[in-house]
Amino acid sequence: MLRLPTILRKSFSMKTRQRLDYRNKIILAPMVRVGTLPMRLLALEMGADIVYTEELVDLKLIKSIRRPNPALGTVDFVDPSDGTIVFRTCAQETSRLVLQMGTSDAGRALAVGKLLQRDISGLDINMGCPKEFSIKGGMGAALLAVPDKAALILRTLCSGLDIPVTCKIRILPDVESTIDLVQKLAATGIAAIGIHARTSVERPQHAAHPEVLRAVAQAVDIPIIANGGSKNMHCYEDLRKFQLECGADSVMVARAAQINVSIFRPEGLLPMDELIEKYLRLCVDYDNAPHNSKYCVQSILRELQETPRGKRFLQCQTLQQICEIWELGDYCRRRQRELKTMGNSGRAEVEPPEALAKRQKLEEAATAIADEYAGVICRNMPFLRSTYPSDNHLPKTQLYVHAGKAGKSPPAYETQQCDKLFRSICTFDGQRFSSSFWEKNKKQAEQGAALVALLHLGQLEAEVLRDNGSLLN
């Protein structure tokens, strides 16, 4: 059997991959903190044809390392400086995935595109974001003011990549200027252009301008993707209605999908709790960051965050705690054990070089103290404030009360600081206790040390602590 050289096989595979078609599509728009892997997969399940990532800045991507993750079945782009996931994707979405990049430099954008193109089916350049961060960096809507530079970026990408390139803009103050800009950008070879039907200074409360998009659509041959209609989108039919109003080839949905991603279902919206449960299962399956998962659930709950259940949810700090509220606690525990067995390290075990040096310093400090007394009893136990209903239930309080009842001297604490990390040693009844989990301040470090003492003394149950995320090993 004839075998092509590796480099030729890769090139052949990318060039024979079915090219993404942007016509007559319903699309999940790029949304910061929303367009991560679980939400993208859920949007596809609900009926979206194409999904965009959140905007990812080229400077962050170019420093990342591509790392397959067999345990999760994903490809991860990892920041080597702190071990965080910059971008995570999987085979289920590859053929319908577009990554949106924030950039102000054609050469850098091309380098990132080459790094990513085997794992995505399209690359979109953000030319419409009006946020200060993007503008100051010369990205987003700042590029609307320098159309020659915007065109250079797109032309460089179109000529240098094997996947289709698009951009997303906002309309300009008048129709003629908008048409001129779109024609200039279309001439670079891009496959489609997304247009938000508001200007850079307008916000969601302002009315959209579908008539501008209609005029643009009649003036160019490439597909126009209409965006900006979420204010009046409440069901699937509203998506198509906005598309028709704009005379666009496709429609892109942001805020309406953030609130209820089942808006992509022609059959109708799903109940909120069913939607959250589906989303949380995907978060567990793909080891999504707890803070990101929480943000997306908050977007779905909206005013229901003020209910008793909503207030309990707002206190959550771990994915396990969030899952418990929707009766997925057992599922979360089981899957996390399975994934760990399969080799997924999880965020609690991430240890970049800088963090390793800090840990070694902490351990040296702890060892120096421990040499003068008995050995330090250590467990990996973070202090999670949300698991304690009042100050009377905090670990330090519990240990102090236990000491009084037992007629022992109160516990004493010695805390070491290394840069911005803290670790404490609790001395009680001739023994020393410490949590190996680094805390962000002295008070939390002392609580963690007290927690280890309470567990060792039999005042707390290990299973309960594992269930609420307070005992990692």
Residue 458 backbone zone (phi > 0: left; psi -120 to 50: alpha; other: beta): left
Nearest to 93 by CA among 26, 43, 164: 43
Q: What are phi and psi of 268, to 5 degrees?
A: 120, 170
The CA distances from residue 395 to 314, 336, 387, 411, in Å, are 21, 26, 11, 11
Other Cβ atoms less than 10 A from the Cβ of 148: the count is 7
**Which of 260-274, 290-304, 354-368, 396-410 shows the lowest mean pLDDT across its residues?**
354-368
pLDDT band at 11 (very low <50, low <70, confident <90, very high): very low
**Distance between CA 107 and CA 125 in Å, rounded?**
13
What is the pTM assigned to this prediction?
0.80
pLDDT in tens, 113-144: 999 999 999 999 999 998 888 888 999 999 99
**Mean pLDDT of all residues in the chain?**
90
In the prediction, which pLDDT does 421 show? 81
In the prediction, which pLDDT does 14 show? 53
**Which of 43-47, 48-52, 228-232, 372-376 shows the lowest mean pLDDT across its residues?**
372-376
Q: Give domain limits for the chain.
A: 25-270, 271-350, 371-468
Residues designated as active site = 129
Tell the CATH topology of 25-270. TIM Barrel (3.20.20)
Report the percentage of the chain scoring pLDDT > 90: 77
In the prediction, which pLDDT does 1 show? 36
pLDDT band at 439 (very low <50, low <70, confident <90, very high): confident
Residue given tokens 């090139």 in the structure block:
11
Class of domain 371-468: alpha beta
In the prediction, which pLDDT does 418 show? 78
Burial of 370 per CB tally in 10 Å (0-12, 13-18, 19+) = middle
Other Cβ atoms less than 10 A from the Cβ of 358: the count is 18
The CA distances from residue 66 to 7, 58, 77, 118, in Å, are 17, 14, 5, 11
The CA distances from residue 318 to 41, 125, 382, 470, in Å, are 21, 33, 11, 10
